[in-house]
Amino acid sequence: MLKALIFDMDGVLVDSMPFHAAAWKKAFLDMGMKIKDEDIYAIEGSNPKNGLPLLIRKASKEPDEYDFEIITSIYRQEFERIFELKAFEGMGECLELLKTRFLLSVVSGSDHLIVHSIVDQLFPGIFDIVVTGDDVMNSKPDPDPFLKAVKLLKVRPEECIIVENAILGVEAAKKAEIYCIGVPTYLKPSQLDRADLVVSDHKKLMEHLLNLESILKFRA
Protein backbone atom coordinates (compact mmCIF):
# COMPACT_ATOMS: atom_id res chain seq x y z
CA MET A 1 0.00 0.00 0.00
CA LEU A 2 1.34 3.40 -0.95
CA LYS A 3 1.71 5.64 2.10
CA ALA A 4 4.32 8.31 1.32
CA LEU A 5 5.63 10.51 -1.48
CA ILE A 6 9.20 11.80 -1.33
CA PHE A 7 10.15 14.79 -3.47
CA ASP A 8 13.45 16.26 -4.50
CA MET A 9 13.18 20.05 -4.25
CA ASP A 10 15.29 21.77 -6.91
CA GLY A 11 13.87 21.04 -10.33
CA VAL A 12 10.90 19.08 -8.98
CA LEU A 13 9.08 21.50 -6.69
CA VAL A 14 10.96 24.71 -7.45
CA ASP A 15 12.44 26.01 -10.70
CA SER A 16 15.72 26.85 -9.01
CA MET A 17 18.56 24.96 -10.67
CA PRO A 18 19.50 27.75 -13.12
CA PHE A 19 20.11 29.98 -10.07
CA HIS A 20 22.15 27.30 -8.31
CA ALA A 21 24.21 26.85 -11.49
CA ALA A 22 24.83 30.58 -11.86
CA ALA A 23 25.88 30.86 -8.21
CA TRP A 24 28.29 27.92 -8.41
CA LYS A 25 29.81 29.28 -11.63
CA LYS A 26 30.36 32.66 -9.93
CA ALA A 27 32.01 30.97 -6.92
CA PHE A 28 34.30 28.93 -9.15
CA LEU A 29 35.19 31.95 -11.29
CA ASP A 30 36.14 33.89 -8.15
CA MET A 31 38.49 31.01 -7.30
CA GLY A 32 40.04 31.05 -10.77
CA MET A 33 38.09 28.09 -12.23
CA LYS A 34 35.49 27.65 -14.94
CA ILE A 35 32.67 25.09 -14.96
CA LYS A 36 29.69 24.55 -17.25
CA ASP A 37 25.97 24.31 -16.51
CA GLU A 38 25.91 20.69 -17.64
CA ASP A 39 28.67 19.83 -15.12
CA ILE A 40 26.49 21.20 -12.32
CA TYR A 41 23.31 19.51 -13.50
CA ALA A 42 25.16 16.19 -13.73
CA ILE A 43 25.87 16.22 -9.97
CA GLU A 44 22.58 17.76 -8.90
CA GLY A 45 21.41 16.19 -5.66
CA SER A 46 24.80 15.80 -4.00
CA ASN A 47 25.81 18.05 -1.13
CA PRO A 48 28.85 20.38 -1.38
CA LYS A 49 31.10 17.97 0.53
CA ASN A 50 30.60 15.28 -2.09
CA GLY A 51 29.85 17.42 -5.15
CA LEU A 52 32.62 20.01 -4.97
CA PRO A 53 35.49 17.56 -5.59
CA LEU A 54 33.73 16.37 -8.75
CA LEU A 55 33.24 19.93 -10.02
CA ILE A 56 36.81 20.94 -9.21
CA ARG A 57 38.13 17.97 -11.16
CA LYS A 58 35.84 18.99 -14.05
CA ALA A 59 37.70 22.31 -13.98
CA SER A 60 40.97 20.33 -14.32
CA LYS A 61 42.09 21.22 -10.80
CA GLU A 62 42.87 19.23 -7.66
CA PRO A 63 40.27 19.45 -4.84
CA ASP A 64 42.96 19.48 -2.13
CA GLU A 65 44.15 22.86 -3.43
CA TYR A 66 40.90 24.63 -2.54
CA ASP A 67 38.97 25.58 0.60
CA PHE A 68 35.46 24.17 0.26
CA GLU A 69 34.10 26.55 2.90
CA ILE A 70 35.22 29.60 0.94
CA ILE A 71 33.73 28.30 -2.32
CA THR A 72 30.47 27.38 -0.59
CA SER A 73 30.27 30.77 1.15
CA ILE A 74 30.63 32.62 -2.16
CA TYR A 75 27.99 30.33 -3.70
CA ARG A 76 25.50 30.95 -0.89
CA GLN A 77 25.92 34.72 -1.04
CA GLU A 78 25.47 34.76 -4.80
CA PHE A 79 22.49 32.39 -4.69
CA GLU A 80 20.73 34.57 -2.12
CA ARG A 81 21.44 37.65 -4.25
CA ILE A 82 20.06 36.32 -7.55
CA PHE A 83 17.46 33.72 -6.53
CA GLU A 84 13.86 34.32 -7.60
CA LEU A 85 11.48 32.14 -5.61
CA LYS A 86 9.18 30.25 -7.98
CA ALA A 87 7.33 26.97 -7.61
CA PHE A 88 6.38 25.08 -10.75
CA GLU A 89 2.90 26.06 -11.86
CA GLY A 90 0.21 24.02 -10.13
CA MET A 91 2.60 22.26 -7.77
CA GLY A 92 1.30 23.93 -4.62
CA GLU A 93 -2.29 22.97 -5.38
CA CYS A 94 -1.20 19.44 -6.32
CA LEU A 95 0.61 18.99 -3.01
CA GLU A 96 -2.42 20.24 -1.06
CA LEU A 97 -4.51 17.46 -2.63
CA LEU A 98 -1.82 14.81 -2.16
CA LYS A 99 -1.45 15.72 1.51
CA THR A 100 -4.98 14.51 2.15
CA ARG A 101 -3.97 11.00 0.99
CA PHE A 102 -0.25 10.54 1.68
CA LEU A 103 2.61 11.46 3.97
CA LEU A 104 4.86 13.95 2.16
CA SER A 105 8.61 14.54 2.42
CA VAL A 106 11.30 16.68 0.80
CA VAL A 107 14.78 15.20 0.36
CA SER A 108 17.27 17.71 -1.03
CA GLY A 109 21.04 17.90 -1.34
CA SER A 110 20.94 21.67 -0.76
CA ASP A 111 21.90 23.06 2.63
CA HIS A 112 19.54 23.33 5.59
CA LEU A 113 18.98 27.08 5.55
CA ILE A 114 18.18 27.27 1.83
CA VAL A 115 15.86 24.25 1.84
CA HIS A 116 13.86 25.23 4.90
CA SER A 117 13.58 28.84 3.77
CA ILE A 118 12.13 27.79 0.39
CA VAL A 119 9.81 25.14 1.84
CA ASP A 120 8.52 27.48 4.56
CA GLN A 121 7.79 30.24 2.06
CA LEU A 122 6.23 28.21 -0.75
CA PHE A 123 4.75 25.16 0.96
CA PRO A 124 4.03 26.01 4.61
CA GLY A 125 2.59 23.11 6.58
CA ILE A 126 2.70 20.72 3.62
CA PHE A 127 5.62 18.41 4.36
CA ASP A 128 5.80 15.96 7.25
CA ILE A 129 9.57 15.46 6.96
CA VAL A 130 12.38 17.53 5.39
CA VAL A 131 15.85 16.03 4.89
CA THR A 132 18.64 18.31 3.65
CA GLY A 133 22.24 17.92 2.56
CA ASP A 134 23.36 18.82 6.09
CA ASP A 135 21.36 16.01 7.67
CA VAL A 136 23.33 13.05 6.27
CA MET A 137 26.98 12.16 5.88
CA ASN A 138 26.56 10.56 2.46
CA SER A 139 24.54 12.46 -0.14
CA LYS A 140 22.91 11.24 -3.35
CA PRO A 141 23.76 8.95 -5.18
CA ASP A 142 24.09 7.20 -1.80
CA PRO A 143 20.65 6.03 -0.63
CA ASP A 144 21.10 7.46 2.88
CA PRO A 145 19.03 10.66 2.37
CA PHE A 146 16.01 8.70 1.15
CA LEU A 147 16.40 5.97 3.76
CA LYS A 148 16.54 8.64 6.48
CA ALA A 149 13.26 10.09 5.20
CA VAL A 150 11.68 6.62 5.15
CA LYS A 151 12.78 6.04 8.74
CA LEU A 152 11.46 9.40 9.93
CA LEU A 153 8.16 8.88 8.11
CA LYS A 154 7.88 5.48 9.85
CA VAL A 155 7.05 3.64 6.63
CA ARG A 156 8.74 0.93 4.54
CA PRO A 157 10.60 1.61 1.26
CA GLU A 158 8.00 -0.36 -0.71
CA GLU A 159 5.31 1.98 0.66
CA CYS A 160 6.94 5.05 -0.94
CA ILE A 161 7.44 6.77 -4.27
CA ILE A 162 10.32 9.14 -4.97
CA VAL A 163 10.03 11.97 -7.49
CA GLU A 164 13.39 13.06 -8.93
CA ASN A 165 14.74 15.16 -11.78
CA ALA A 166 18.44 14.41 -11.29
CA ILE A 167 20.67 11.54 -12.39
CA LEU A 168 22.19 11.10 -8.92
CA GLY A 169 18.76 11.27 -7.32
CA VAL A 170 17.40 8.48 -9.49
CA GLU A 171 20.49 6.40 -8.73
CA ALA A 172 19.99 6.97 -5.00
CA ALA A 173 16.33 5.95 -5.26
CA LYS A 174 17.22 2.70 -6.99
CA LYS A 175 19.89 1.91 -4.40
CA ALA A 176 17.27 2.49 -1.72
CA GLU A 177 14.98 0.08 -3.63
CA ILE A 178 12.20 2.67 -3.83
CA TYR A 179 9.95 3.21 -6.87
CA CYS A 180 11.09 6.35 -8.68
CA ILE A 181 9.35 8.73 -11.07
CA GLY A 182 11.73 10.88 -13.12
CA VAL A 183 10.87 14.27 -14.57
CA PRO A 184 13.58 15.59 -16.96
CA THR A 185 13.35 19.27 -16.03
CA TYR A 186 16.84 20.23 -17.17
CA LEU A 187 17.99 16.96 -18.76
CA LYS A 188 17.16 14.70 -21.67
CA PRO A 189 14.60 11.99 -20.73
CA SER A 190 17.15 9.31 -21.64
CA GLN A 191 19.43 10.55 -18.85
CA LEU A 192 16.84 9.43 -16.30
CA ASP A 193 16.21 6.04 -17.88
CA ARG A 194 16.97 4.18 -14.64
CA ALA A 195 13.78 5.58 -13.13
CA ASP A 196 10.79 3.23 -13.04
CA LEU A 197 8.73 5.82 -14.89
CA VAL A 198 9.82 8.95 -16.77
CA VAL A 199 7.17 11.61 -17.44
CA SER A 200 7.65 14.28 -20.07
CA ASP A 201 6.99 17.39 -17.97
CA HIS A 202 5.48 18.72 -14.75
CA LYS A 203 1.94 18.69 -16.12
CA LYS A 204 2.22 14.96 -16.79
CA LEU A 205 3.92 14.46 -13.43
CA MET A 206 1.04 16.03 -11.53
CA GLU A 207 -1.51 14.02 -13.54
CA HIS A 208 0.30 10.81 -12.53
CA LEU A 209 0.59 11.80 -8.89
CA LEU A 210 -3.10 12.63 -8.61
CA ASN A 211 -4.06 9.29 -10.17
CA LEU A 212 -1.57 6.97 -8.50
CA GLU A 213 -3.99 4.27 -7.40
CA SER A 214 -5.28 3.78 -10.93
CA ILE A 215 -1.93 3.61 -12.74
CA LEU A 216 0.41 1.76 -10.37
CA LYS A 217 0.34 -1.39 -8.26
CA PHE A 218 2.45 -1.58 -5.14
CA ARG A 219 3.69 -4.45 -3.07
CA ALA A 220 1.90 -5.00 0.19
The set of catalytic residues is 8
Phi-psi region of 32 (alpha: psi -120 to 50; beta: other; left: phi over 0): left
DSSP-assigned letters across all residues of 175-211: HTT-EEEE--SSS-GGGGTTSSEE-SSHHHHHHHHTT
Distance CA 211, CA 14 (A): 22
Beta bridge partners of 106: 7, 130
- Closest by CA position to 114, among listed 127, 133, 129: 133
